[in-house]
Structure 1
Amino acid sequence: MNATTIYLDHNATTALDPRVLEAMGPYFLVAGNAESRHSAGRRARRAFEEATEVVAEILGARPDEVVFTSGGTESNNLAVFGLAVDGATPPGRIATTPIEHPAVNEFVAHLEARGFVADLAPVDSEGTVDVDRMAALFYERTRLATLMLANNETGTIQPVAKLADLAAARGIPVHTDAVQAVGRIPVDFAALGVATLAASGHKFHGPAGSGVLLVRRGVRLTPRLYGGGQQQGRRPGTIAVPLAVGFATALDLWRREYQSRTATWRRLTQRLIDGLHRAIGPDRILPNGPADPSRRLPQTVNLGFLGVDGDALLMQLDLAGLAVSLGSACASGSTQPSPTLVAMGVPTDCLRSSVRFSLGAFTTEAEIDQAVVHVAAAVKWLTR
């Protein structure tokens, strides 16, 4: 990426906050295994335990419910596998949705190949899951339900707590992929009532390769890895102390700056929408997601540009120095339209012309204004 690029693809990944890098530095440069009993090991153990306590406090969990992982994909895979697979028990059913991230739905597909059945709950035109209809999919053999907390493409915030309450009455554990939510909106693990929750550090200016899985105390989770027994055996292996410190530091910075970041994001996303409406015309732009901004992530906007080919638009914007996305970066190689937008019933002429704009902690007003100029110019060029 060159220095002039305007980066509005933070739902794909974010740049590491220099303050996070500074906090991680000492643990990269000095050896110390958190399982070792000498002074260097004890120093690493203290740093790891402090990071665990910070994460637990901010996310409404107990320290013994925090498992550090390599990121959202591992956390989601571990949760879905751990809740669904129980030794030699025959395959069962999984209640899920068509809008889940590939880190969830691709693993569910893997389990389907092993004999599991996936039952899909519908979403409305704003991308919100009908949890009552999802609860109607709870059968005797349902092993778990999985519903993301906030959608990675539209930013739609899902009624996870309500689903968890309905599932609890049937004794069914709920997993939530909170990768896009953590570091953007307040997340309270205890209040949500879910069995497991996944998060990833690189979504909120933490280090890539860092993540957590919260596992409610008392929940049985079949491990996928076996080794030295670290992290209660749920995710054995040498603990990456620098990454744990980086994740916790980034999350703590979000907590300290939450109100100012949110206010800025709300203002800038509205400035983006208003600017595009003036430059292109509101009749040529279709918003994808909730009309009420309080029901979507504060820094995410998904817009369809009528009559424009999305791939061509993305190419034009990239040449102009504007980085945006057509959907999930983890499925960017697909030639198929977004499953999320399809499930929402987005019109065919907008399925391949919808662009996701996602802001970060350091996005500026000047960048938003320049983005409007680039998008308007590209749309006009492609529809001339």
Structure 2
Amino acid sequence: MTTTTHDDPEANRDLDLDPIFEPSLSAAPVQTLASVYYDATTMTALNATSAAAINRLRAYRPPAFPLWDSLPPRRRAAVLLLLYGDGHGHLRVVVTMRAASLRSFSGHAALPGGKADDEFETPFQIARREAFEEIGLPVDDDRLPSPFRIEALCMLPPSLALTHLVVRPCVAFLHADRSSSTTTTSSSSEDDESLLVEESLIPRLDSREVAALFSAPLYNFLKIHDLPPPPGQSLPPGKWYDGAWTNWKDISWRLHNFYVPVNNQRVMRPRRRSSTSSRNSTASPRAALDNALFEDQDRFEGRLKVWGMTGRLLVDAARIAYDETPEMEHNESFGDIDVITRAARDGIFQESRGHDAGEEPAKI
């Protein structure tokens, strides 16, 4: 999330990917890795449970929030909960790890997002713009390569960040539409190539803001233990969840700590383009993608922590999507409308809190 003005707004497009925290390929074949949102060959049609979850999100309407229009732009923010279907038809959500160089919440898991640029941006426009700046997700739908398209599903009730930003969570689904010609079984490598994402969707991480990119199973945010891994995959040591109650703004707030297994997925971090980039530019789509994903690998067999506001938002999104009560203790309300309303009455949003223009923006 950023509102910083860069001298060269396209500078971060000049970043390549260096996969980190990735399982040893000698220990697990590529086909056992979790799906990635930028490669349609790792996806399949949603199963019945996931399709119903998308329908619930599509039908969800948050409570009215007229206060948004009266907030100064510097107090408005939005994040993108980008969902996609994996190779088993389950929903996954895209998560980032904030760069260590940032002064606020460095190294924390986050959803792509940031502050409004002006009073005219809608929450979805903010979220999509920030997702482009942070991970390279195209802002315009017509820039998405076939077979991909993004559907805006709903907004969740607003939340209040510790930095006094009012955050609108925007939920979207990345479709990987398959025509009848692409769903038929074929041994042709050309057919496989046609389903690969083009250059415009391969993640381009802004190293000034994002240290890593990974994904997590949405349904698991309702559970206190890991879901069983798919065939051919295993779980790393450690627990999935712990949590505790804390007080914030005189309200009891459940702090969720999730430890997402990343041993069976591709976790990406930014790196500067090397001489391999020129080879990638002339390689086939499959070869270029493989070079981007599997070159100069580090290995990681553990978990990445998702907590704080990000954990709360993912619990709320899963509650709505699956219409289930979480196994862990949780806040019954969605979002922080009551807290935000009280803060507005106290003049919090009209006062300078050290995060005005010209300073490093507060991050979600």
Instruction: State TM-score, norm by structure 1.
Output: 0.27
Instruction: Tell me which structure has the larger Cα radius of gyration.
Output: 1
Instruction: State TM-score, norm by structure 2.
Output: 0.28
The structure richer in strand per residue is 2
Q: Which structure would you say has the larger RCO, counting Cα contacts within 8 Å and 6 or more residues apart?
A: 2
The structure richer in helix per residue is 1
